[in-house]
Structure 1
Amino acid sequence: MTRKTIILAMPPSNGIVELIEKNLQFHGYEVTRIDSILKFKYNNLWERIYQFFHKHISRNNTYKAKLKAKQSLHKAQKLLANNYYEYTLVIRPDIYPQKVLALLKRHTTNKFIGYQWDGLNRFPVKDIIHLFDQFFIFDHTDLTNPDYQNYQLRSITNFYFDMVQPHHVKNNKPQAYYVGDHQVCRVAAIEYCAQKLAENGVDIRFIIPTSKPKDIKCYKSKYITFGKQNRLSYYDNLKYVNSADILVDFVIDGHNGLSFRHFEALYYQKKLITTNTHVQYYDFYHPNNILIWDERNLDEIQEFLAKPFIQIDTHIIEKYSFKNWIKKILGIHQF
């Protein structure tokens, strides 16, 4: 059977692009990644001099951006050549120059699809959304965003990577796991949660992948560790997810969509502590498995940990798999 062809355009960070690529291949797609075009370097000394002049003398920060856009377009043209693809999926399309997006669309024979897996208020896409055949958002509240009422947005959740199989790990003590970028709005909640879990006999693995002294100084808790060199790859992150008993999620201010952690907890059958109140409206929610807290009810942790984990229907779990997600987003199948 002929494999469907797809261009995958997204941020290259954290190794998640490699996992998405492998999961696409696992499910029968021939994948062409273009995240390499985002890597930028000056072609010569004169470009560096001009950039210094524009930034520090003219107070104009657009010169480097124009260089990046031009270089990205040239790389994309060379990479795609005369090839055409059935689908193109652009995740975080705001990071790609508009001319690159237009080029990708010309090389797409079936559907040109955008997915903003961050809130539209944080990363707007109003100037480029018209280029796409379909545009998906992960935060369902963006459907009522007044700036986007003239656009047909489609809501879709995140997913779990079904190519990676869970393996049961028996811990001597229950272990809680959290990893997330430094955000000032989450510091107090992270430290308070770690302290309460530790008081209830839980081993803590809370990771903030930063080596910036000004970020690290924000944390006083002894239970927080920091990524001093290379950031944790997403595949290594899933190893920690697999070995943990409890996953922890702290929503960013302004976000309402569910992070990957919710679907990983569902797939790996882990208990979840989350500050995202919207999870209670999903079909996989069960209070035995998911504790929603707002720093006022965290004393319920002991009771929550003692409750037996409730098995969720397999049909519901499969609904949030990558296999189902990619079929839905490409319009191949609706679960």
Structure 2
Amino acid sequence: MSKHELMILENKKILFIAPSFFGYEHDIVAQLKAFGAHVDYFDERPFTSSVAKIFNRLNFKLFIKGDIENHFLKIYDMSIKNKYDFLFVISPETLEKKIIDKIKSTNNKMVSILYMWDSFRNKSNAKKVVSCFDRVFSFDPSDKISGIDIRFLALFYNNDFKLLESDKFNSTQYAVSFIGTVHSDRVKLAKKIMEQFQNRGLNTFCFYYCPSKLLFILKKIFTREFDYISFSEVSFNSMSKLEIKDVFINSNAIIDIQHPEQMGLTMRTIEMLGLNRKIITTNSDIQNYDFFNISNIAIVNRVAPIIPDGFIDSSYVQPDENIVNQYSIQSWLRTIFSEQ
């Protein structure tokens, strides 16, 4: 950041509302504070029980409406006291227009910013409140809403996924690895891809995560989504970022399977750019990004995910350092909070 860019956030007060998501919200808070801002963070989903999360996911908000309203009224009270300079919201599922308007009314100079790290297609509530914000960004280049200026901004890699000098001399243990949340056809595809390497006698690593045992059981009973995975194959405790990095540093390539209803690149994809690791992905839109290189990135079909011959054995081609830096968390926040 230049001196002028640092001054944008120096001593500014930021109200940050975002869903808890594997600790990325805390990485954002830490970086904003490193830029000199004062940050108050609140979870956008004011409940911790699995039942409440399922009600919210299924849009049965009537059962948790009281908890949601009380949560955001407390945030409004904080806004009256603190007179925030920025309201920064990520992928809202429960936040309502009337609350956003109340928060904004506490300081008529407040700049309100919305960032979507899920597609608007998958977040009906976000569509209802998008008009409340001064700036709107999405990780999905296909997101379009009539009358709304939606700026495309890819996700980021944080400092945990920045390649260190000591990492460069690490010998790999796995030909390919997959670590991710279970959804859609992910498990089916990941297993098909890993089988191709296992048939060659190569080591692979997989870690399938589900945030709720109850959710897993219900989907197992009532949907076909989890047909390709058993209860014993799933972990209900996530891995830490350092554990994930250790696996990836020990892998030649990482499998990335985006949600079929999204075009934007996953956080995992951007993290592999930071770690200089090959990617096997179902997202064909990756070829439109400035870091795309056929030596580093294999695009596979969701129906028949065949890995190109020689891909895993060839050397990684180092991207331009300036391009890699553009996807850091520092650069991401600079774009969001710039005065442009």
Structure 2: which 5+ runs fail to align?
1-6, 50-54
- Asked whether the 8 Å contact 1:16–1:235 carries over to 2, the reply is no
Question: Residues 310, 204 of structure 1: CA spacing in aligned structure 2 closer, same or farther, 3 A cutoff?
Answer: same
Name which one, 1 or 2, has greater alpha-carbon Rg.
1
Alpha carbons of structure 1 residues 96 and 292: separation in structure 2 relative to 1, 3 Å: same
Letter of the 1:327 counterpart: R
SS in 2 for 1:158: coil
* Offset from partner CA, 1:140-188 (integer Å, 9 cap, x none): 1113xxxx22222111111111465434162353342322222233232
Whole-angstrom distance in 1 between the partners of 2:18 and 2:315: 39
Kept in 1: contact 2:177–2:253 (CA 8 A): yes
**Cα distance change on mapping 1:315 and 1:87 into 2, 3 Å:** same
97-106 or 119-128, which deviates more: 97-106
Cα shift at 1:233: 4.1
| 1:184 equivalent in alignment to 2:191 | no
* Equivalent residue letter for 1:39: F
Q: Does 1:308 align with 2:322?
A: no
Report the aligned-residue RMSD.
3.0
Contact 2:139/2:264 (<8 A) preserved: yes
Aligned to 2:113: 113
1:15 Cα shift? 1.8
CA positional deviation for 1:70? 2.1
Q: CA deviation at 1:195?
A: 0.9
Distance in 2 separating the partners of 1:266 and 1:318: 10
**Candidates 236, 239, 244, aligned match of 1:232:** 239
CA offset at residue 116 of structure 1? 1.5
Q: In the alignment, which residue of structure 1 is the partner of 2:205?
A: 205
Residue 226 of structure 1 deviates from its aligned partner by 2.0
CA contact (8 A) 1:246 1:272 kept: yes
Deviations 1:78-129 (CA, angstroms, capped at 9, x unpaired): 4444102222210012332333322332345342000121111111223211
In structure 1, the partner of 2:91 is 92
1-structure distance, mates of 2:265, 2:45: 30
After TM superposition, the structure 1 stretch with the greater mean CA deviation from structure 2, 322-331 or 242-251, is 242-251
- Report the more deviating stretch, 184-193 or 61-70: 61-70
Work out which of the residue numbers 323, 329, 334 in structure 2 matches 1:322: 329
Contact 1:206–1:225 under 8 Å retained in 2? no
Tell me the matched-pair count.
309
Residues in 2 aligned to 1:240 and 1:101: alpha-carbon distance in whole angstroms: 41
Correspondences of 1:236-315 after superposition (within 5 Å):
236-294=243-301, 296=304, 298-300=306-308, 302-315=309-322
CA contact (8 A) 1:76 1:100 kept: no
The residue number in structure 2 matching 1:166 is 163
User: Quick one: distance in 2 between partners of 1:36 and 1:156?
Assistant: 21
| 1:177-231 CA distance string (max 9 Å, x none) | 3222222332321110121122234432222212434549623599x94213x23
| Contact 2:160-2:242 at 8 Å conserved across structures | no
Q: Structure 1 vs Structure 2: percent identity of aligned residues?
A: 22
* Equivalent pair of 1:173/1:201 in contact (CA under 8 Å): no
Which residue in 1 is equivalent to 2:15? 7
Distance 1:248 1:82, change over 3 A: same
Please tell me whether the aligned partners of residues 247 and 273 of structure 1 are also in contact (alpha carbons under 8 angstroms). Answer: yes
SS of residue in 1 equivalent to 2:294: coil
Moved more, 67-76 or 278-287: 67-76
Q: Aligned to 2:255, what secondary structure does the other structure show? A: strand
* Aligned residues of 2:136 and 2:151 also touching (Cα < 8 A): yes
Cα deviation, residue 257, structure 1: 0.7
CA distance in 2, matches of 1:220, 1:40: 26
Given that residues 69 and 97 in structure 1 are in contact (C-alpha distance below 8 angstroms), is that contact kept between their aligned partners in structure 2?
Answer: no
Secondary structure of 1:128's partner? helix
Relative to structure 1, the CA distance from residue 272 to residue 36 in structure 2 (aligned partners, 3 Å threshold; closer, same or farther) is closer
Correspondence for 2:150 among 136, 145, 153: 153
Cross-structure match for 1:137: 138
CA contact (8 A) 1:173 1:202 kept: no
TM-score normalised by structure 1 residue count: 0.81
1:51-79 per-position Cα deviation (integer Å, ceiling 9, x unaligned)? xxxx9xxxxx5643431332122321344
Say which SS state the counterpart of residue 102 (structure 1) adopts. Answer: helix
**Equivalent position SS for 1:7:** strand
Relative to structure 1, the CA distance from residue 36 to residue 310 in structure 2 (aligned partners, 3 Å threshold; closer, same or farther) is closer
The structure-2 alpha-carbon separation of the partners of 1:186 and 1:110, relative to structure 1 and needing over 3 Å to count, comes to same
Stretch deviating more after TM superposition (93-102 or 162-171): 162-171
Whole-angstrom distance in 2 between the partners of 1:128 and 1:315: 35
What TM-score do the two structures reach when normalised by structure 2?
0.80
Partner of 1:177: helix, strand, or coil?
A: strand
Using the alignment, how far apart are the partners of 1:23 and 1:72 within structure 2? 25
Q: Is the 8 A contact 2:140 2:265 kept in 1?
A: yes
The structural deviation recorded for 1:261 is: 1.6
Specify the alignment match of 1:52 in structure 2: none
Secondary structure class of the residue paired with 1:95: coil
Q: Is the 8 Å Cα contact of residues 256 and 278 (structure 1) preserved in structure 2?
A: yes
